[in-house]
Structures are given as structure tokens and as C-alpha cells.
Amino acid sequence: MRFTLLLIIFLLIHSNTKAQNTEIKWYSESNNNGIILQNSFPKGGLYKGSKKEYFNYSCLVFFSRVINQTKKTVELTVDFPTDKIGIPNSPNTFVKLFLSSDKMSLEKQSLFNYGLTDFDTLDDSTIVQKTIQPNEDHLFYVIAIFFQTKNDAKNENRGGNRTELVLREDNLYYKMLPQIELMHCGKINFID
């Protein structure tokens, strides 16, 4: 009987301690009139490249979370341009941004690449369109693929290891310094 009681007390204490350690550390977090944007730190590393047309590939995986704390339903749209973006002071080095159709969840935060494993679809253009009800959220992956157009540029500076989804009025922008100061990438529309 004592053993059972001690086991129950131990399990209660252990489960409460474990639940307290689930706080997420965000690179950035902003609140714009009840729309909260949270942006992760990067994870990633080497990437073999799907087409082998460039050199010295690498990737970083990020995720963003949009929380609707308003009383209205919102329509979220995120769409990145398909063009490669040059990296300042590294003339042969570029980055392309992709949105994955895989579902991101907070439970994947501790996994390598936040649990993203399918990089074969990154050549396809993707768009995030989601209706977010009041007091709900939506999470999505952003993948930055870095590459070089000449094989002799192996040690070029790649920069940009932090990103941020930014809301100004109803327009969404993406920031990845030094490559992207502020790039329009979508909207948040309130639905009456």
C-alpha cells in the first residue's frame, strides 16, 4: 500500500515537472492588434540538392506560428516568389525560400529540422492559405535553401540564419537579413 502511494506521488510530481519544461523559446514574437506572430530559431545543415544544377547546397528550416486572438475569423495567405535571392557580398551565392505542405505542430519542436523530412517537393511552388478562427493558431514551415552557382565559391558567406514574419496593417512581410530586408509575402484578411 505504501509503495503504491509513493509511486502515485512520484508520478504526479514527475508529470508536473515535465509539463513545466515545455516553454518554447522564440526568435521573435509580436502582437499586432490580437494577431500574434511567433518565429522560430533555425535548424538544418547540409542538403544534397534535388536537381544537382548548383553547388555547395545547405538548408535551414524555420517555422512561424500565427495566433488569432481577435473576435473575428482571419484568412491567412503566404506565398514566396520563386526567384533566387542573391546574398550581398557573395556574388555567386543565393537563397530560395520554400513553404512545405507538411503539417507543423509544437510537438515537433525538439526534432531535427522540426520533423521535416521530405525535401523532394521543394522545387514546387507552394502557398499557405488557411482560415484561422478566433483563439486558434496555424503553424507552417519555411525552408531556406542556400546554393552557389560556381563550384569555386565554396567559402562564400551565406548570412541570413534568422528570419521573421512581420505584419504591417494587413500585409505580411518576410525578413532574412542581410539577404531580405523586407519582402512582401502575403496578407491577413479579417472576415466579418
- The tens digit of pLDDT for each residue in 116-156 reads 987 776 766 679 999 999 999 999 999 998 888 888 655 56
* 90 vs 178: CA distance, rounded Å: 11
Assigned C-alpha cell, 132: 484561422
* 153 vs 163: CA distance, rounded Å: 24
Tell me 99's DSSP state. E
Spatial contact of 49 and 163, defined as CB atoms under 8 Å apart: no
> If residue 132 lies in a helix (H) or strand (E), which one and from where to where?
strand 127-132
* Peptide bond between residue 178 and the one before it cis (omega within 30 degrees of 0): yes
Q: Count other C-beta atoms under 10 Å from residue 138's C-beta.
A: 18
* 80 vs 127: CA distance, rounded Å: 7
Q: How many residues does the chain have?
A: 192
Phi, psi (deg, nearest 5) at residue 9: -65, -45
Each residue's pLDDT tens digit, 70-121:
999 999 999 998 888 888 777 788 888 999 988 999 999 999 999 998 777 6
Q: Mean pLDDT, to the nearest integer, of 53-62?
A: 87
Instruction: Check pLDDT > 50 for residue 15.
Output: no
